[in-house]
Amino acid sequence: MLIIKRFVPILGFFLSGCIVVPTYTGRVSLQPTNYSEQEVDITNVLLVGTGPIASRMFLDNLSSKMMETFKRKGVSSEFSYIGKVPQLANLKLDSLVTAPFDACLVFKASDDVYLNMTKVKYTGVAITGATVAGYGNQYKDKYTVSLYTKKEGMQLVWQGDLKVDFDLAEDSRYNQISNLIFKELSKKRILP
């Protein structure tokens, strides 16, 4: 189904006698940077997002995908967006993470977010010489993703650098990012 959704615009251009060339391809990467060997038992996690408005759109979509996965794993979760926080500022997580939560997964956005609401995704040239374009919403940012546990205060359990560069409307990218994060947390035996 995903393949059909992705190639329907291209197929339409092709059938109308157009040659279609993608001009923008999205990318996502997650690089683990730090993790602890300690045993972690997580039953309730608070997802915390920081960043400008463009980050809010991205984090709302990503957190809903992650909350679905947490639910399937038997972990309850909630999302809280706290706005733009300077990159060098420390978050006061103790004030955010209240009684029901035993862990906190923080998405801290960098200061160099990029959003282009009129990015050309496809260019088509018809047999007649007419040019057509398909537009998308290119979102580009870097996040430091950190998992803290309330065991002995807020202690860092896992951390990674997440880089995103894709169309905000591509639902499959949120699944991809969520899967990357859960794969890393499972690999380190933080989550089942």
CB-based contact 136:169 (threshold 8 Å): yes
- Distance from C-alpha of 28 to C-alpha of 8, rounded to nearest angstrom: 23
Q: How far apart are the first and last CA of the chain?
A: 29
Closest CA to 49 of 121, 108, 115, 134: 108
Q: Is 75 left (phi over 0), alpha (psi -120 to 50) or beta?
A: beta
Query: How is 21-83 classified by DSSP, letter by letter?
Result: EE----EEEEEEEEE--S----SEEEEEE-SSHHHHHHHHHHHHHHHHHHHHTT-EEEEEE--
Residue 14 has pLDDT above 60, yes or no: no
Residue 13, pLDDT score: 45
Instruction: Give the β-pairing of 18-22 and 27-35.
Output: unpaired
pLDDT of residue 96 exceeding 70, the answer is no
> What integer is the mean pLDDT of 65-86?
89
Q: Are 24 and 121 in contact (CB under 8 A)?
A: yes
pLDDT in tens, 130-173: 776 666 778 899 999 999 888 767 788 999 999 999 888 889 99
| Mean pLDDT for the chain overall | 80
Backbone phi and psi for residue 50, each to the nearest 5 degrees, phi listed first: -130, 160
State the pLDDT confidence band at 78, using cuts at 50, 70 and 90. very high
